[in-house]
A and B are shown apart, each in its own frame.
Chain A
């Protein structure tokens, strides 16, 4: 297969880019693909803790770019899946330590060794964002169904187009079916209608995400988590399968029932 560099970006901060990168990376690796996660959020590294790999870091992305180490010395092998690697961001440097051209070259080099290179972009539209998209072939835009997040997503879609990264795919994160039912949250169709890009998937708001982040184990491996199921579906869509959207309409009720019965 042809290798792909996919950037996960959003404009607005805190909407779930890092969570999405970690889950899709783990999910793709579980399917047998060779995957490298790149944390492009230089100065605010997070992907390592979400993946539970923070104790293994020796070198980072800036070390590679500046020639302090070889690329393979900086790659951290996941402890659960041998197909999965992480290139961590530098924590004590800032975004100006890397140039878009260097990111492009780095992504090219990673493409030779991996099937999927997923780049976790920082929030914003400045240098860090420009670095993150520099080597990308494709993009995934994460948004929540809220006014400010959708507005920022729209801006990012324009900027990606200007950088000749066409056809971004949309992930709507933290959907609350109960609020949608009450008419207090935009639904999936509302957001697609506004942004007018193809939908890759919808991830419900789920406590399991917080629990899994606490443990450093992406929810995609948790068979009982709704968000995990949503991420497994997205993984299958990325690999070309057609997977219908999961049914959110009954979620509130089943969840209530589950809670009533005292189980998860």
Chain B
């Protein structure tokens, strides 16, 4: 009986109830929440980036900028790294 009621309900249900909106909005808001970087983490990330990059090029450490860029449906790590010179191999 329950199955029949379910079936009938599904036929008459609106194509997409508000739950789809709830899910999609949650997905996006959590994407942002979960990628929140603490200041300490950001500093540690910068320092390691400088270490690694310095093997290959001379960079302007003071001009280095690392941020999380939040577009509508994605999050990107954006690094702006001024290069002074590239080391010859």
Contacts and interface: CB of A to CB of B under 8 A. Distances in A.
Interface of A: 146-147, 150-151, 154-155, 158, 180-187, 190, 194, 247, 249-250, 252-253
Nearest to B16: A183
A253 B20 CA distance: 24
Contact of B22 (A154, A182, A186, A247): A186
B2 A250 contact: yes
B2 to A, nearest CB: 3
B27 A194 contact: yes
How big is chain B's contact interface, by range? 20 to 34
A186 B5 contact: no
Given A151-B33, A194-B26, A253 B19 contact: no
B5 A250 contact: yes
A31 B50 CA distance: 60
Contacts of B19: 180, 183-187, 190
Given A183-B17, A184-B19, A186-B22, A154 B2 contact: no
Main SS of chain B's interface residues?
helix
Contacts of B3: 249
Interface stretch (B6-14, B53-61, B63-71, B76-84): B6-14
Interface in B18-34: 18-20, 22-23, 25-27, 29-30, 33-34
Which 4 residue pairs of A and B lie closest in terms of their CB atoms, listed nearest first? A183-B17, A250-B2, A184-B17, A181-B9
B6 A154 contact: no
A183 B33 contact: no
A181 B19 CA distance: 10
Given A186-B23, A190-B23, A154 B1 contact: no
A183 B22 contact: no
A89 B10 CA distance: 47
B30 A151 contact: yes
A184 B13 CA distance: 10
